[in-house]
Structure 1
Amino acid sequence: MGWNWPWARQNVERKGGSLHGFVALHAQGEAAWTRRDYATLAREGFMRNPTVHRCVRLIAEAAASVPWLLYEEKSELVDHPLLDLLMRPNARATGASFLEILYGHLLMSGNAYVELVEAANTRELHLLRPDQVMVVTDADGWPTALEQRQQERRRRIPMDGEEGALAMHLRLFHPLDDLYGFPPLQAALMALDIHNAAVRWNKALLDNSARPSGALVYAPKEGGNLTEEQYERLKGELEDGYAGAARAGRPMLLEGGLEWKAMGLTPKDMDFVEAKNGASREIALAFGVPPMILGIPGDNTYANYQEANRAFYRMTVLPLVSKTAAELSAFLGPKFGEGLRLSFDHDQIDGLAVEREALWSRIGAADFLTDEEKREAVGYGPRN
């Protein structure tokens, strides 16, 4: 529906004859889509859309809560400076809050930038906001550094060199860009705009008595047209006296020659609720979050909430954590020694507790395995 009041004065078409009136015609125009830069996606998505906000928070918080493990060759290290650095990356952030922001940057922009600051005997990790960073390449097109831009300030951080890399660029797969990642939200950009537009449509209906405004027809018996003063006064009275939810149901007093033609919403026009739910499901699909976890109606892909939660961890959270662990190992491992490898502890993930209990039950019931073989099968090393 495209009916709106007030109609512009110049859009009123007048014809000669004994009866005079007007009608507003609205043509369908090109759809306007949200821009694809980081700031706009963050503002229109994370800050204004509840589905995007919850998807990003859900993934980032779940991934940041996964405990780290450190291995040297095949031996697990319980106490190591690298683990201490990940537990307390800098003086202003703990490990969980640092990783939550890192995953948030990765989900919203497709890129995450980490800077390693070394001074005397201390090391710190800091995150750089994606919209302030540009990848610098050499003459052959290979990335060599990050350039951070803050207002008039420019700062270059090497990604390779004789002294080793001081910056890490973590990015998601982009089929058309060799330097920058592709954010999941950009794949659901149309669904995001539909969802936000449905909310604005619903709010506009509430502001206009939960129905579209009708058409005010002027058809005097004697003929003639409204003067400019009469037109402006009539428009002002409608806006001040009858528009808005607080004035819903107020009776309208019409003078001679005026007739109100009310228009109601058809069932098709009321489909904006289903359109909103459908857009929410597409957004959740782009992020890899089962709609059942978000409470979106109309999705019965999984038998129950527990199964949906396990699928969320297996298909979304763990691949993200595994990718981050591999990148951090390549970036930080050489700074602390040779053969260091970061991993994560599956046994400490609450979302996979049911799978872990089933595995232990199967392994424990296998009489043909020795105790040492059972320990190895569930991921534990031999007894000392």
Structure 2
Amino acid sequence: MGLATRLASLLGAGPIPLGRKVAGAREEKSAGAPLYGGAFLLTGPGGEGRVARSFEAMARTGFMGNPVAYRCVRMISQAAGAIPPVLLKEGRELSDHPVLRLLARPNAGEDRASLVETLCGYLLLSGDAYLEAAAPDGAVAALYGLRPDRVRAIAGRDGWPEAYEYRVGSSVRRFSAEGDDGRLAQLLHLRLFHPLSDQQGFAPMAAAAAAVDLHNAAADWNAALLKNSARPSGALVYQPADGANLSPEQFDRLKAELETGYAGAGAAGRPMLLEGGLDWKAMALSPKDMDFMEARHGAARDIALAFGVPPMLLGIPGDLTYANYAEANRAFYRLTVLPMIGRVMGALGTWLGGHFGDDGLELGVDLDAVEGLSVEREALWARIAGADFLTRDEKRLAVGYGREG
């Protein structure tokens, strides 16, 4: 089977069941859209379509099954988790506050960096992240990130979520979207922009799904070539003098010898001994089939583009968007990491500030701790230091610090 045929079978030529067919389920989601356990096919003109995967299928085939997507998610989430938070109130930085102490140790099994990494990872993989505030005595004592595939938003009459259900096995817990008995909501829902949904976010992994399939298919193609002596297959031509064909017993014996003695990377280059009348004809790959390597690199660039990671940072060849690694790293932080962590910290500050009865809190990040932005920081400090018309407090505010005192 050629690469084009293999890719077509993965990327839309017919439904792709990513699990067992659901017993008793309707045969069609809509006209021409068969429903499967874990995936349903969205068809378009000409019968082509894409698979809308569940979170588990996306996590397994993308994050756990593709090195480029895995690295993108890890780079973004780890970089976001490594930036320390800054808590401000009315423009002044607070060095000690219950919110900071809670974030430093959100629960018994995680620190702040681990919790932020989890939330960012869920956002990148599913478009949604949920954070539960455990308050057994009325005051928030711990924070827990919840798996998004276990949470279901329940829409009200106006279309917006009025409650959330968290299901683990047969256990179901319900959270009010606005809180109960005058208290604030116990569940914080973070989501990325989705143009077609009021309850769920749209994940970068979903946008990169086709590229992930292409990249995985190209990797499978390479592995298949390696298992076949790292070369395309050929043909054994039998040309006997009397014109007779091989008997079934001769054919089976020849096939068994080829599979046991000449297949696999360990048998690469082993000379083949042919009996009388047999001739080996090698079959070379066509230029179209040989293009699979460039197709794999192109798919890797598309995956990096969907996540906002410069391909240069991933070692993908053929990308010259940035002049050097340092410039690509600055773009990675400015265009991807900082917007992500800013969204998370902004929502956390407002939510936790309400729980602690302090509505004037603003939670941000310490940009001075980002090593990748050190060049920009030095240039900013030089410009601010030379601005004699600014007061000391104005200079502090201009570089991201609060007022003195």
Question: What TM bracket, shorter-length normalisation?
Answer: 0.7 to 0.9
Alpha-carbon distance in structure 2 between the residues aligned to 1:319 and 1:58: 14
Alignment check: 8 A CA contact 2:133 2:140 kept: no
Determine the C-alpha separation between the residues in 2 that align with 1:227 and 1:2: 30
Q: 1:240 aligns with which of 260, 263, 267?
A: 260
The one-letter amino acid paired with 2:159 is G
Alpha-carbon deviations, 1:125-164, whole Å to 9, x = none? Answer: 1111112121122243321222122222222222223322
Of 226, 242, 251, the match for 1:231:
251
Q: CA deviation at 1:268?
A: 4.3
Cα 1:198/1:328, change in 2 over 3 Å: same
Match of 1:351 in 2: 372
C-alpha separation in 2, matches of 1:323 and 1:141:
23
**Local SS of the residue matching 1:119:** coil
CA distance in 2, matches of 1:177, 1:149: 21
CA contact (8 A) 1:35 1:41 kept: no
TM-superposed deviation, 1:306? 1.1
Does the CA contact (< 8 Å) of 2:162 and 2:177 recur in 1? yes
Residue in structure 1 matched with residue 362 of structure 2 by the alignment: 341
Letter aligned with residue 168 of structure 1: L
CA radius of gyration, larger in: 1
Check 1:30–1:48 CA distance in 2 against 1; reply closer, same or farther (3 A cut). Answer: closer
Q: Deviations over 1:7-63 (max 9, x none)?
A: xxxxxxxxxxxxxxxxxxx97884314762211221122112211111111100111
Residue equivalent to 1:167: 187
Contact 2:88 2:402 survives alignment (8 Å): no
Query: Which one of the candidate residues 62, 70, 75 is aligned to 2:87?
Result: 70
Who is 2:2 aligned against?
2
Which of 134, 150, 167 does residue 149 from structure 1 map onto? 167
Match of 1:378 in 2: 399
Asked if structure 1 preserves the Cα contact closer than 8 Å seen for 2:237 and 2:278, the reply is yes
1:47 to 46, 64, 69: 64
Counterpart pick for 1:88 among 99, 102, 105: 105
Conservation of the 8 A alpha-carbon contact between 1:209 and 1:243: yes
Letter of the 1:380 counterpart: Y
Change (3 A) 1:293 1:378: same
8 Å Cα contact 2:155-2:199 kept in structure 1 = no
Query: Could you tell me whether the CA contact under 8 Å between 2:235 and 2:281 is conserved in 1?
Result: yes
Q: Is the 8 A contact 2:6 2:217 kept in 1?
A: no
Q: Which residue does the alignment assign to 1:197?
A: 217
Secondary structure at the aligned position of 1:326 is classed as helix
Equivalent of residue 150 in structure 2, options 101, 126, 132: 132
Equivalent AA in structure 1 for residue 178 of structure 2: D
1:116 is aligned to 2:137: no
Instruction: Report SS of the residue matched to 1:192.
Output: helix
Quote the residue 1:360 is aligned against. 381
Residue aligning to 1:22: none
The match for 1:31 is 9
Over 3 Å counting, the alpha-carbon distance change for 1:237 and 1:280 in structure 2 is: same
Match of 1:215 in 2: 235
Provide the secondary structure at the position in 1 that maps to 2:175: strand
Q: Does 1:276 align with 2:296?
A: yes
Q: Which letter maps to 1:208?
A: N
The farther-off stretch of 259-268 and 63-72 is: 259-268
Mapping for residues 287-302 of structure 1, pairs under 5 Å? 287-302=307-322
**Bigger mean CA deviation after superposition, 116-125 or 49-58:** 116-125
The corresponding residue for 1:16 is none
Q: Distance in 2 between matches of 1:205 and 1:260?
A: 18
Q: For 2:315 and 2:213, how far apart are their aligned partners in 1?
A: 20
Distance in 2 between the 1:74 and 1:215 partners?
A: 77
Structure 2: how far apart are the matches of 1:190 and 1:270? 20
Q: TM-score, normalised by structure 1?
A: 0.87
| Counterpart residue type for residue 41 of structure 1 | M
Relative to structure 1, is the Cα distance of residues 128 and 277 closer, same or farther in structure 2, using a 3 angstrom cutoff? same
Structure 2 runs not aligned, ≥5 long:
12-50
Bigger RCO (CA 8 Å, 6+ sep) = 1
